[in-house]
Amino acid sequence: VAEDAARGPRSGFPGRLREAVRTKNSRVCVGLDPVLDRLPAEVVQASVQRHGDSLLAVAMAYLEFGKGIIDAVSHLAAAVKPQSAFFEACGPAGLFVLKELIDYAALKGVLTIEDAKRGDISSTAEAYAQGHLGATRLPGGGAEPAFAPDALTVNPYLGRDGLAPFVRVCEEHGKGVFVLVRTSNPSAGDLQDLVVSEGGLPVYLRVAAMVAEISRGLEDPDGYTPVGAVVGATYPEQARAARQILPSSWFLVPGYGAQGAGAADVLPCFDAGGYGAIVSSSRGIIYAHQTPWAREKGLSWQAAAAAAADKMREEINRALAGRDDRSARSPSQCT
Amino acid sequence: VAEDAARGPRSGFPGRLREAVRTKNSRVCVGLDPVLDRLPAEVVQASVQRHGDSLLAVAMAYLEFGKGIIDAVSHLAAAVKPQSAFFEACGPAGLFVLKELIDYAALKGVLTIEDAKRGDISSTAEAYAQGHLGATRLPGGGAEPAFAPDALTVNPYLGRDGLAPFVRVCEEHGKGVFVLVRTSNPSAGDLQDLVVSEGGLPVYLRVAAMVAEISRGLEDPDGYTPVGAVVGATYPEQARAARQILPSSWFLVPGYGAQGAGAADVLPCFDAGGYGAIVSSSRGIIYAHQTPWAREKGLSWQAAAAAAADKMREEINRALAGRDDRSARSPSQCT
């Protein structure tokens, strides 16, 4: 408790995220989605030479690549977002690498969002929450973090009792979650856009209301709670509607770049001060070395990633600076 | 292709599951939900002696315990269902143990359902599907399974393009998925029971319809597809409604025992022949050694688990034998 008091209110996840956005002047989140085919050939070859033609070689190539990307973007990105699926696809060794990359990013001063989209019933959600955001109990009575990202993405399909343990652990450990509200994929609307008879709102706004309810009273001095929302950049109107219901949630906004959204599309996600959202791009940044302009300039894969992240950072900042004041909102105006 | 032809139609997941139910005369799925506090003390102590007071010790205790449960119930259970959350909570070592238990169960002739409730957008869902049901590509051009359960639980919140890769990989590798339709937890209805304006159906039945759509045409000679559904035993009316829409899906039915449902509650899940569903119980079986009757009889934890699994097996079989014929249905009657 004394330790918590010493850390102060800014030590919670929304405060740390705000501070990262401010000091780096960046709303960029770099997604770490390693895919074997697209990795720099020399990284894969070096790993195969050491580890043979194996899943371990793939996992260790992902480690080298991930560390290289983190090195390249740590001053340009508010956060990095490793996608668990690609690491799980390498088996247990991939999970070692995921954990290592999360710890490496922390060492380099970058916040980490583990994109694992976990969700289960209450007792099981508790194990996910402790394992990914808190600490797992040891036989001797102590506890140890299993994975230690700053935040985790979470799936709401199981309802409030599946979300509550995550919120509790966030509060206790100064961590954050981003609940899937409106995702960026083409068939996101299959479920999320179904209009509910009672109240006439689509499902995704009912989820937004659920997120607002479970995080009520957890606002920090800046008006934000540890319970954020995933809201796809590819659907700006839905983002605007979600913003109305969720004035106190940070938005994690995927879909920028490779999925088709641009800087103008993400503006409804931000508050009047330019905070409240971070925009995620994966392939557009980490595989920038494969684009014609990077090849033309002869950029290394790390230099290309840094250039792409910086370009995205400036695009968003420029759009924010130039936006119509009427479209701006602040948390206090909405609550 | 020649190999596939040689395996015959029964080699797909629904065929293997049917065969397991038939030969063991059991509709029981034993959930492996290891929780440190509830493990037999001697298992934990032995692991701490070898591995110290660490997450590795917890993970290795889960391995010993899980193998012991599999040994005890392999002839009584159609499948075992390790819950990924508890293994993830031990960090990377826990994932090694999860993989090892899946392989151990296969060795002992028990089907495995990895309860991980994965779900993401298409390209990422592809990585989850290959990593948990298929095989991940190696640098040399081959491929290797990362985790190799017979089936995986999957979350539908991201819509059809998030489910399609799982279905494709199931077809290719003879595996199965169980899509969350109506879960067994108290707040399951927060989202799943919301009634949709168009058509007047609740969300969970729209999900059921989506499952029916993506698995259409994949029926095996017995009328079942690789795409199953999770339907909680705690809500028999919802199970009946889901059955109407999903005549060709195996149901994975959680909520038996510790969560409050009994044999009568699960009857609507079965077809006329007594197939089409397996009922899952975790705590009621794996921690049976802590019940008064097991203590009174002086049963070991393995003997208690076997006794509890056998009792559940017989309860369900007896209820099926005694059910009113009018409540029975067959796949052919519904399609």
**A289 contacts A299 by C-beta, under 8 angstroms:** yes
CB contact under 8 A, B128 and A158: no
Average pLDDT score, chain B: 93
**Cβ-nearest to B88 among A36, A138, A146:** A146
Cα distance from A334 to chain B (closest Cα, Å)?
Answer: 25
pLDDT in tens, chain A (335 residues): 344 444 444 589 999 999 999 999 999 999 999 999 999 999 999 999 999 999 999 999 999 999 999 999 999 999 999 999 999 999 999 999 999 999 999 999 999 999 999 999 988 999 999 999 999 999 999 999 999 999 999 999 999 999 999 999 999 999 999 999 999 999 999 999 999 999 999 999 999 999 999 999 999 999 999 999 999 988 889 999 999 999 999 999 998 987 788 999 999 999 999 999 999 999 999 999 999 999 999 999 999 999 999 999 999 999 999 985 444 444 443 33
Query: Quick check: B135 contacting A, CB < 8 Å?
Result: no
| Catalytic residue (one of A81, A117, A175, A297) | A117
**A117 contacts B120 by C-beta, under 8 angstroms:** yes
Q: Please compute the mean of the pLDDT values over residues B96-119 and round it to a whole number.
A: 98
Contacts of B99 (CB under 8 A, 6+ apart): A91, A92, B146, B147, B148
Contacts of B317 (CB under 8 A, 6+ apart): B25, B26, B27, B274
C-alpha torsion sign, points A150, A137, B113, B30: negative
Tokens 């948390």, residue? A331
**B85 contacts A131 by C-beta, under 8 angstroms:** yes
**C-alpha distance from residue A81 to each of A12, A58, A286, B21 (Å):** 18, 19, 12, 43
pLDDT value of position B330: 46
Task: Tell me the DSSP string of B214-240.
Answer: HTTT---TTS--SEEEEE-TT-HHHHH
**A192 contacts A179 by C-beta, under 8 angstroms:** no
**Cβ-nearest to B194 among A119, A188, A196:** A196
Interface list for B 146-185 with A (CB within 8 A)? 146-147, 155-162, 180, 183-185
Q: Please compute the mean of the pLDDT values over residues B138-152 and round it to a whole number.
A: 98
Helix or strand or coil: residue A173?
helix
Helix or strand or coil: residue A270?
coil
**Cβ-nearest to B196 among A91, A123, A196:** A196
Q: Is A117 a catalytic residue?
A: yes
Tokens 């060709």, residue? B248
CB contact under 8 A, B146 and A94: yes
Question: Distance between CA A115 and CA B95 in Å, rounded?
Answer: 17
Number of other CB atoms surrounding residue B332 within 10 Å: 10
Query: Quick check: B124 contacting A, CB < 8 Å?
Result: yes
Helix or strand or coil: residue A248?
coil
**Cβ-nearest to A44 among B90, B139, B156:** B139
B130: confidence class by pLDDT, cuts 50, 70, 90: very high
In chain B, residues with a C-beta closer than 8 Å to the C-beta of A158 are: 180, 183, 185, 187-188, 191
Helix or strand or coil: residue A75?
coil
Interface list for A 267-326 with B (CB within 8 A)? none
Identify the CA nearest to A115 among candidates A180, A189, A60, A55.
Answer: A180
User: B324 pLDDT exceeds 90?
Assistant: no
Interface list for B 73-112 with A (CB within 8 A)? 83, 85-86, 88-96, 98-99
**C-alpha distance from residue B113 to each of A97, B56, B154 (Å):** 25, 24, 11
Query: Quick check: A119 contacting B, CB < 8 Å?
Result: yes
User: B10 pLDDT exceeds 80?
Assistant: no
Nearest CA in chain B to A153: B120
Query: Quick check: B206 contacting A, CB < 8 Å?
Result: yes
Number of other CB atoms surrounding residue A113 within 10 Å: 31
Q: Hey, which residues does B151 pair with through a beta bridge?
A: B113, B176
User: B38 pLDDT exceeds 50?
Assistant: yes
Contacts of A37 (CB under 8 A, 6+ apart): B137
pLDDT value of position B199: 94
B171-210 tens-digit pLDDT = 999 999 999 999 999 999 999 999 999 999 999 999 999 9
Query: Quick check: B197 contacting A, CB < 8 Å?
Result: yes
Helix or strand or coil: residue A81?
strand
Measure the N-to-C terminal CA separation of chain A; round to a whole number of Å.
30
Number of other CB atoms surrounding residue B6 within 10 Å: 8
Question: Distance between CA A131 and CA A177 in Å, rounded?
Answer: 13
In chain A, residues with a C-beta closer than 8 Å to the C-beta of B144 are: 54-55
ipTM (interface predicted TM): 0.94
Cα distance from A325 to chain B (closest Cα, Å)?
Answer: 34
pLDDT value of position A189: 94
Question: Distance between CA B50 and CA B61 in Å, rounded?
Answer: 10
Question: Distance between CA A312 and CA A28 in Å, rounded?
Answer: 7
**Cβ-nearest to A99 among B33, B36, B92:** B92
Helix or strand or coil: residue B85?
helix
Residue B200's φ and ψ, nearest 5 degrees, are 70, 15
Planar angle of CA A237, A240, A246, nearest 5 degrees? 145
Q: Please compute the mean of the pLDDT values over residues B64-85 and round it to a whole number.
A: 98
CB contact under 8 A, A124 and B184: no
B211: confidence class by pLDDT, cuts 50, 70, 90: very high
Identify the CA nearest to A163 among candidates A183, A184, A146, A177.
Answer: A177
B11: confidence class by pLDDT, cuts 50, 70, 90: confident
B contact test, residue of A137, A158, A166, A280 with most B CBs within 10 A: A158
The catalytic residue positions of B are: 117
Pairing of strands A136-137, A143-144: antiparallel
**Cβ-nearest to A127 among B89, B132, B195:** B89
Pairing of strands A28-32, A136-137: unpaired
Question: Distance between CA B279 and CA B315 in Å, rounded?
Answer: 11
Using left for φ > 0, alpha for ψ between -120 and 50, and beta otherwise, residue B88 falls in alpha
Task: Tell me, letter by letter, the H, E, C secondary structure of B166-216.
Answer: HHHHHHHHCCEEEEEEECCCCCCHHHHCCEECCCCCEHHHHHHHHHHHHCC
pLDDT value of position A324: 58
**B177 contacts B224 by C-beta, under 8 angstroms:** no
Identify the CA nearest to A154 among candidates A139, A136, A140, A169.
Answer: A169
C-alpha torsion sign, points B104, B108, B109, B114: negative
Identify the CA nearest to A134 among candidates A120, A117, A114.
Answer: A114
Compute CA A19 distance to the chain's CA centroid, rounded to the nearest angstrom. Answer: 16
Measure the N-to-C terminal CA separation of chain B; round to a whole number of Å.
30
Tokens 């019940």, residue? B291
pLDDT value of position A154: 98
The structure's pTM equals 0.94
Contacts of A145 (CB under 8 A, 6+ apart): A134, A135, A136
User: B7 pLDDT exceeds 50?
Assistant: no
- Helix pair B122-132, B160-173: axis angle to 10 deg: 30
Cα distance from A136 to chain B (closest Cα, Å)?
Answer: 6
B contact test, residue of A136, A161, A206 with most B CBs within 10 A: A136
B246-302 tens-digit pLDDT = 999 999 999 898 778 899 999 999 999 999 999 999 999 999 999 999 999 999 999
Q: Please compute the mean of the pLDDT values over residues B104-108 and round it to a whole number.
A: 98
Cα distance from B150 to chain A (closest Cα, Å)?
Answer: 16
**B160 contacts B137 by C-beta, under 8 angstroms:** no
